[in-house]
């Protein structure tokens, strides 16, 4: 590969707390190694429209503690077409960018993979998503913060719930992945989690009613992963009303508050390590890889694996939740 003088950095897709810590780490590690940095605003859209500015160390001062992303994020349909990506490549050449660091989820890394192959262009990805649904990394940037937000919200709901004999369905994000629901349920002492991964194996609602929800409890809290497969918390509540009308059901959808807030120490450290590792990877001539973490070690995961393979849920956790909710 020719000498790498300048890298571009962008955040894309759903935002996640800790993205700023990652932007800071990538920028500073690059500058430390004598590489120029350009910040690309609004994800792939900024590549197409040329919303690109030079980044110095002070562009990333005082952001490690901020949620969201200072580079903004967007969804860009034009990048799905070869013509759109050609425009993006034109701007990359114009700006003298030799490699890209893309921070985002599944969709953003899919776009990165296609673009990298089409133009034989070096790209390293960082897993930035609260959903934790990328294969090859134990956790993703933003996941721990979202989990803590869910835990705090459920604690509050439990306070009001304890005086009623009610069944509460609390819907959490996850986009067809049950990590937030399952670990959120364990962390908040909920009775059960309804997750898409095991949807076809058991009727989780039936199981819950049979074994989990007891009249002797003041209230029951069940975390439900948002998903078309499960029908989400509303879908569950409708089924209970029809099939088990003796229960008093309530629904809370936590929604976008799960994406906000100052990142936890775990997310800041993860993002800092991964950001610095992205520059190491590019200097080692790696391309088309996502930075991951496995057993506290940084690893390089080929885009193809990170995107295509389904990340398995740890089934021991389901059992733990079941045991602890008796
Ligand atoms: P996330 O990265 O959070 O999964 P999205 O799925 O919305 O978010 O993807 C973010 C952006 O990545 C899209 O708006 C699009 O610009 C780009 N992208 C996603 N999938 C593809 C694809 N198959 N080809 C090219 N670009 C894609």
pLDDT in tens, the chain (326 residues): 568 999 999 999 999 999 999 999 999 999 999 999 999 999 999 999 999 999 999 999 999 999 999 999 999 999 999 999 999 999 999 999 999 999 999 999 999 999 999 999 999 999 999 999 999 999 999 999 999 999 999 999 998 887 777 889 999 999 889 999 999 999 999 999 999 998 878 788 888 887 755 555 667 899 999 998 889 999 999 999 999 898 889 999 999 999 999 999 999 999 999 999 999 999 999 999 999 999 999 999 999 999 988 899 999 999 999 899 88
Task: Kindly give the distance from the C-alpha atom of residue 293 to the centroid of ligand 1, in angstroms, as a whole number.
Answer: 22
136 CB-near residues (< 8 Å, 6+ apart)? 290, 292, 294, 299, 301, 305, 306, 309, 311
User: Whose C-alpha lies nearest to ligand 1, atom 12?
Assistant: 108
Q: Which among 10, 12, 15 is the best mutation to test ligand 1's pocket, defined by most ligand atoms within 8 Å of the CB?
A: 12
- Which alpha helices (H) appear in the chain, and where do they start and end? 19-32, 43-49, 82-95, 106-119, 143-161, 179-188, 204-207, 232-243, 265-283, 303-308, 315-324
pTM over 0.85: yes
| Secondary structure of 151-172 as H, E, C letters | HHHHHHHHHHHCCCCEEEEEEE
Q: CA-to-CA distance for 132 and 177, rounded, in angstroms?
A: 8
Domains (range + CATH), the chain: 6-142+263-308 (3.40.50.450), 145-259 (3.40.50.460)
Active site residue 15: no
323 CB-near residues (< 8 Å, 6+ apart)? none
Task: Kindly give the distance from the C-alpha atom of residue 75 to the centroid of ligand 1, in angstroms, as a whole number.
Answer: 7
Q: Which residues line ligand 1 (CB under 6 A)?
A: 12-14, 44, 75-76, 79-80, 104-108, 110-111, 114, 129
Helices 265-283, 143-161: inter-axial angle, 10-degree rounding: 160
Catalytic residue among 98, 131, 144, 267: 131
């Amino acid at each position: 590969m020719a000498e790498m003088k300048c890298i571009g950095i962008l955040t894309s897709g759903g935002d996640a707390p800790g993205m700023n810590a990652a932007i800071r780490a990538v920028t500073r590690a690059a500058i430390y190694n004598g590489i120029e940095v350009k910040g690309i605003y609004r994800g792939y859209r900024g590549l197409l429209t040329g919303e690109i500015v030079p980044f110095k160390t002070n562009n990333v001062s005082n952001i490690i503690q901020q949620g969201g992303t200072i580079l903004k994020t967007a969804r860009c349909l034009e990048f799905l077409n070869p013509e759109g990506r050609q425009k993006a490549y034109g701007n990359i050449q114009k700006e003298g960018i030799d490699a890209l660091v893309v921070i985002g989820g599944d969709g953003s890394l899919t776009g990165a993979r296609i673009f990298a192959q089409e133009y034989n262009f070096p790209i390293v990805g960082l897993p930035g998503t609260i959903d934790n649904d990328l294969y090859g990394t134990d956790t993703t940037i933003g996941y721990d913060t979202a989990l803590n937000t869910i835990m705090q919200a459920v604690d509050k709901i439990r306070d009001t719930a304890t005086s009623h004999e009610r069944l509460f369905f609390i819907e959490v994000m996850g986009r067809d992945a049950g990590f937030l629901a399952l670990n959120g349920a364990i962390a908040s002492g909920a009775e059960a989690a309804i997750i898409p991964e095991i949807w076809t194996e058991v009727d989780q609602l039936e199981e819950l009613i049979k074994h989990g929800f007891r009249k002797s409890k003041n209230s029951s809290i069940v975390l439900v992963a948002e998903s078309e497969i499960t029908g989400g918390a509303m879908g569950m509540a409708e089924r209970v009303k029809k099939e088990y009308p003796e229960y008093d059901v309530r629904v809370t959808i936590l929604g976008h508050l799960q994406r906000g807030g100052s990142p936890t120490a775990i997310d800041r450290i993860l993002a800092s390590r991964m950001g610095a590792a992205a520059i190491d990877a590019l200097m080692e001539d790696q391309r088309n890889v996502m930075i991951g973490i496995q057993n506290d070690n940084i690893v390089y995961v080929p885009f193809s694996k990170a995107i295509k393979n389904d990340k398995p849920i740890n089934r021991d956790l389901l059992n733990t939740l079941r045991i602890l909710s008796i």
